[in-house]
Amino acid sequence: GENVEQHPSTLSVQEGDSAVIKCTYSDSASNYFPWYKQELGKRPQLIIDIRSNVGEKKDQRIAVTLNKTAKHFSLHITETQPEDSAVYFCASDYGGSQGNLIFGKGTKLSVKP
Amino acid sequence: EPEVTQTPSHQVTQMGQEVILRCVPISNHLYFYWYRQILGQKVEFLVSFYNNEISEKSEIFDDQFSVERPDGSNFTLKIRSTKLEDSAMYFCASIPPLLDTQYFGPGTRLTVL
């Protein structure tokens, strides 16, 4: 079945540095790749998403890149701040439009002041 | 801004008891989902629901689970005979028409003793 691999599982950076989280997926039919941020005990919050017809998308300090040929996508956070500390999950849709989301195992990002 | 809501926020039950978790999706959304997240692990898909029937379900969603949309607003997940391993955070999500962005509710923490 569909699988999403996410690396690293933990990431510690100094405030102001960049953070990169990488994911790979297996289903060629996947078209939608969201990233969620989850703070302890809270719901996953969508921070950015990308669709298969786009190679890169940016929203202020956050960017996502997608390589459909290689089936991998990455989250880039620049100028990290302590409030960026959370668990980040990548996901891909399974079965195309309105398909369920398959999540990666998460990356715990710690930003040290 | 409208949000997905869930009740209760925390449910404690004895093994073997039935529980019903409730969700109110955003009013014009058409696709509904249940996910679970065991503590410290990734979010896992359980079931999707569209047009008053199940669209897809995962291996986790066995005969002990059922979903219902009893009226125009509520979307429920029932676990007939809870097991210890059902202890997890259960998230409801929904998607607006013509889009694929999933909006998550705040979750219900289920504790089975």
A and B: number of Cβ contacts within 8 A: 55
- Give tens-digit pLDDT for B20-39: 999 999 888 889 999 999 99
Inform me whether the pLDDT recorded for A95 exceeds 70. Answer: no
Q: For position A7, what pLDDT does the model report? A: 96
d(C-alpha A110, C-alpha A101), whole Å: 25
| Run of H or E including A24 | strand A19-25
**A97 at the B interface (CB within 8 A)?**
yes
Q: For position A52, what pLDDT does the model report? A: 85
d(C-alpha B44, C-alpha B33), whole Å: 11
Mark yes or no for CB contact B41/A105 under 8 Å: yes
Task: Identify the segments of chain B with pLDDT beneath 50.
Answer: none
d(C-alpha B44, C-alpha B72), whole Å: 26
- Give tens-digit pLDDT for A13-31: 999 999 999 999 998 888 8
Inform me whether the pLDDT recorded for A97 exceeds 70. Answer: no
From chain A, pick out residues whose CB is under 8 angstroms from the CB of B91. Answer: 43-44
Mark yes or no for CB contact A46/B103 under 8 Å: yes
Query: Nearest CA of chain A to the CA of B41: how many Å?
Result: 7
Mark yes or no for CB contact B95/A95 under 8 Å: no
